[in-house]
Amino acid sequence: MLDGMSIHPHRLRSLSAPVGVGALALLLLFGATIAARSSPAAFIVCGLALVALVGVAAIWWPRTAIVVVVLSPIMDRYIVADMLPPDLESASHYLSEGLLLTVALILAARAWREGTLVAAFRHPVTAVFIAFAAIAVVSAAVNGVPPHIALIGIVFTIDAAALFFLPRLVGFSQRQAIAAIGTLCSIVFVSAVLAVAQGLLSARILGLVPVRGRFGEEVRLASLFGDPNVFGAFLVTAVPFAILGAARLPSRRLRWLAAAVAFVLLLALWLSFSRGAWIALILGVGTMLAIVDRRALLIGLVLSVASFATAAEMPRNLLVPRAPRPNIVDSTIDRVETVGIGGDLRTLFVINALPIVRDHPLLGVGPGRYGGAVAHTFGTPIYAEYDTDVLFWRPTQRTVDNFWLHLLVETGFIGLAAFLTAAFIPGLRILGAARRSIGTRRILLGGIAAATTGMAVSSATTMLLEANSIGFPFWFLLGIGLLAVGARSARLEESPAT
């Protein structure tokens, strides 16, 4: 019977090992969530076993292990965390950190043995990150920041950048890069379908929990992610690949399929009511598409208008007809008016930060001292000194909801410039190569340029790049995108002159 199948016995045998490891990983993950209800120790043991299993798998399937690390924050922050007792939710967040550290050490050891470790780090981005860390250390010393606070603050800011270097340790071909991005986009697409089902049928379908809006939205849909701003950022990440596919895939059927995928992603984006993600779509993705592919920009504009109209007029809450219907137009106008009269909390944080920046323009107040999770967890004298603590009147408000403001205040204009340089170096090369590319290569590189720009813009309205959920994909995309650019350049140099 196997002879009549397209998969031959030796191929099935080669698949048995990764399938078995994957099944065991899912079993450990499921076991950890079950064990957490009765024994925190058993939960920790299962979690450590899962980290060890992925570490072992990284020896044989390093690229797959890297993709698992990139996707792990989605699992530990938005899926597993919701299944755990409240006292263990924070502990689950360390899963992605543990996976990153374990896989990084194993791949570094592998590269050292093969003699490729130094070459992987021989890049201007490495020097820029070293400079950023040095600036942060000087800032901590000048401002008298306790060493442990400074260390944690620096790590929380740049640990995700390891995902820029991990692909360089093992290499990614264009096909492998497309497979990795396709996996991420597939997860986002499934989440988008669930969000549309939430809007059409019931916001609580399949046990999903919506977020209550404060400007007449009634509910903000977040699918599996729980947080509509994070969900919106992931949708913005996936949208440009689908739109470029609708413009540049080789067959008409594939282009129409990509357009349908983009429509669903955009529809879910409007239903999330994540205005920061909407801005990222317009300013970030729109700008990059205008530079890379104007045909894709036109297709994206048509799909955006059509999906927005659908979001405004589509049937809602068919399973719960008495539920109030959100109004996407009126609520957005209310939101804009709130910003205009200075009642928006993010605007108030910016206004409050101006005196801090004026007093500490070059080096900031020190890492871990303002705006992020470290300042919230360990406390900071800066909030009391500048009356920032008055703005944290809501118990759920943990950060200033602006990664770039946080970075500017903590490390000053010098630190902000260094961090931006680390992102611009690969980003500009990827953008330049995307403009010169055609077909699938344009979809890959143009999508990476648009997706990372969208993430960066989204981070101006929340702390996305401090969180692993977006920080990991951001640096990973820049890493594999730069590898794709470099591989093409190397082939052109090696080809004979004609």
Where is the domain boundary, 326, 355, 373? 326
In DSSP terms, which residues pair with 219 in a beta bridge?
212
Under DSSP, the state recorded for 325 is P
Q: How many domains does the chain have?
A: 3
User: According to the model, what pLDDT value does residue 199 have?
Assistant: 87
450/348 same-domain check: yes
Percent residues over pLDDT 70 in the chain: 86
286/347 same-domain check: no
**Is 26 among the domain residues?**
yes
Of the pLDDT bands very low, low, confident and very high (cuts 50, 70, 90), residue 214 is low
Where is the domain boundary, 116, 140, 157? 116
User: According to the model, what pLDDT value does residue 205 have?
Assistant: 84
Q: What is the pLDDT of residues 427-484, one digit of tens each?
A: 999 999 999 999 999 999 999 999 999 999 999 988 888 878 899 999 999 999 999 9
Of the pLDDT bands very low, low, confident and very high (cuts 50, 70, 90), residue 218 is low
321/179 same-domain check: yes
- Pinpoint the alpha helices (H) of 36-158: 40-60, 62-74, 89-92, 94-114, 117-121, 124-143, 147-158
Give the count of beta carbons closer than 10 Å to the beta carbon of residue 198.
24
Angle of helix 468-494 relative to helix 174-200, nearest 10 degrees? 150
73/157 same-domain check: no
317/349 same-domain check: no
The CA distance from 192 to 176, in Å, is 24
**Is 336 among the domain residues?**
no
320/188 same-domain check: yes
Closest by Cα among 221, 153, 181 to 372: 153
Higher pLDDT pick, 223 / 295: 295
Q: What is the pLDDT of residues 168-205, one digit of tens each?
A: 999 999 999 999 999 999 999 999 999 999 989 988 88
**Is 394 among the domain residues?**
yes
Q: Are 231 and 274 in contact (CB under 8 A)?
A: yes
In this prediction the pTM is 0.90
25/60 same-domain check: yes
**Is 498 among the domain residues?**
no
Of the pLDDT bands very low, low, confident and very high (cuts 50, 70, 90), residue 298 is very high
User: According to the model, what pLDDT value does residue 129 have?
Assistant: 96
109/156 same-domain check: no
Q: Are 169 and 120 in contact (CB under 8 A)?
A: yes
473/401 same-domain check: yes
**Is 331 among the domain residues?**
no
The CA distance from 52 to 101, in Å, is 11
312/180 same-domain check: yes
**Is 332 among the domain residues?**
no
Residue 164's domain comprises 123-170+342-489
289/374 same-domain check: no
Under DSSP, the state recorded for 319 is T
**Is 222 among the domain residues?**
yes
Of all helices (H) and strands (E), which one includes residue 493? Answer: helix 468-494
Higher pLDDT pick, 205 / 147: 147
16/108 same-domain check: yes
Q: What is the pLDDT of residues 68-100, one digit of tens each?
A: 999 888 877 777 666 666 666 666 677 888 899
Where is the domain boundary, 292, 326, 360? 326
Under DSSP, the state recorded for 365 is S
**Is 278 among the domain residues?**
yes
Q: What is the pLDDT of residues 318-345, one digit of tens each?
A: 888 777 777 776 666 665 655 555 567 8
> Which value, in Å, is the radius of gyration of the alpha carbons in the chain?
23
The CA distance from 356 to 337, in Å, is 27
